Structure 1
Amino acid sequence: MIGAMGIEIVQAGVADFHQVLADHPRYWGERDLRSLHLLALVQEFGSTCLVARAGDGIRGYVFGFVTPGGTGYVHLIATRDDARGTGLGRRLYAAFAEAAERMGARQLKAITSVGNTGSIGFHRRLGFEVRVVDDYDGPGRDMAVFHRALPLGTS
């Protein structure tokens, strides 16, 4: 589907995955999160790994999957530095939610570090509930955990 700004949100392929890694600083700045980018997600959960493509490349992406218990888990979501503030992150989440619902998801989940105030604010604006879970990612690694009911039109 082609939307605003001539951006099409489509299923990610292997070439898209490699392009995202090649352009990693455009999405994540100084933070090196390449180790969190798992090609297996794109290969095994393709319908919930999406890229927002325009004439000048990939403007954003979301990689996730649906758990056997019916949770659409967003592993990574990012927008390119020149696409921030355009609503693209919201559109990517909506496209992921639609794909996850088609696969039987009843809720969405995501996590981030407790210091990532930008991500926490973004998820709150999308209607996610957030709570800090002690030791979520191992001893002393507390994480902010987000939950949101589906469909997105409800709370």
Structure 2
Amino acid sequence: MPVMGTHIAPAQVADFHQVLADHSRYWGERDLRSLHLLALVQEFGATCLVARGEDGIRGYVFGFVTPDGTGYVHLIATRDDARGTGLGRRLYRAFAEAAAGQGARRLKAVTSVENAGSLAFHRGLGFDAEIVDDYNGPGRAMTVFHRALPLDVPRT
């Protein structure tokens, strides 16, 4: 079912703090608060987006465009009651459009090797996945996703 009444817009500092306050609604038992960097919202506001509804922030994506034209998705999450609605795809599409507007020609994201949900989600969006040894330090392999723009994701 589509998420009705949800508007995607650039994140504000207050949104960042709200996301951290509601962290478990997006990430469950996984504590990823240390990956949430306020500098991303402050310095890359056009590519840090929130999906807001009448009941608060339903999802968000924080990312930026690198100098070589890569739209890098640092974090993307949907709230526990918004999963399975297509909101994650809508957020990715909005990020891809914002990144392309800043000259991005491709997208990149990274996740842990064992994150089956992220693997399935990104593959469903047409990303290629590669396990890169030592990506996150010695002995810390990560799955790295790549795909070219545009991101053709059905609108829901």
Question: Which TM-score band applies after superposition, normalised by the shorter structure?
Answer: over 0.9
The residue that corresponds to 1:108 in the other structure is: 107
The gaps in structure 1 that reach 5 residues or longer are: none
Specify which structure has the bigger relative contact order, considering alpha-carbon pairs within 8 angstroms and separated by 6 or more residues.
2
- Residue 50 (structure 1) aligns with: 49
Equivalent residue, structure 1, for 2:19: 20
CA distance 1:32–1:4, shift in 2 (3 Å): closer
What whole-Å deviation, never above 9, does each CA across 1:29-58 have from its counterpart, x for those lacking one?
000000000000000000000000000000
Q: What is the CA distance between 1:152 and its match in structure 2?
A: 1.1
Alignment map for 1:1-155 (pairs within 5 Å): 4-153=3-152
TM-score by length of 2: 0.96
Equivalent residue letter for 1:36: L
TM-score (norm 1): 0.96
Q: Contact (CA 8 Å) 2:3, 2:85: kept in 1 or not?
A: no
Q: Secondary structure at the match of 2:4?
A: helix
- List gaps (5 residues or longer) in structure 2: none
State percent identity of aligned pairs: 79
Contact kept, 8 Å, 2:3 with 2:82, in 1: the verdict is: no
Q: State the aligned residue count.
A: 152
Shift of 1:141: 0.4
Q: State the SS of the aligned residue for 1:118.
A: helix
Question: Deviation above 2 Å: which 4+ runs of structure 1?
Answer: none
Change in Cα spacing, 1:107 to 1:88, as seen in structure 2 (3 Å) is: same
Superposed CA deviations along residues 51-108 of structure 1, whole A, max 9, x for unmatched, are: 0000000000000000000000000000000000000000000000000000000000
| Pair 4,80 (structure 1): closer, same or farther in 2 beyond 3 Å | closer
For 2:53, the aligned partner's letter is A
What value does the CA root-mean-square deviation take over the aligned residues?
A: 1.1
* 1:93-148 CA distance string (max 9 Å, x none): 00000000000000000000000000000000000000100000000100000001
Give the Cα–Cα distance (whole angstroms) in 2 for the partners of residues 79 and 114 of structure 1: 20
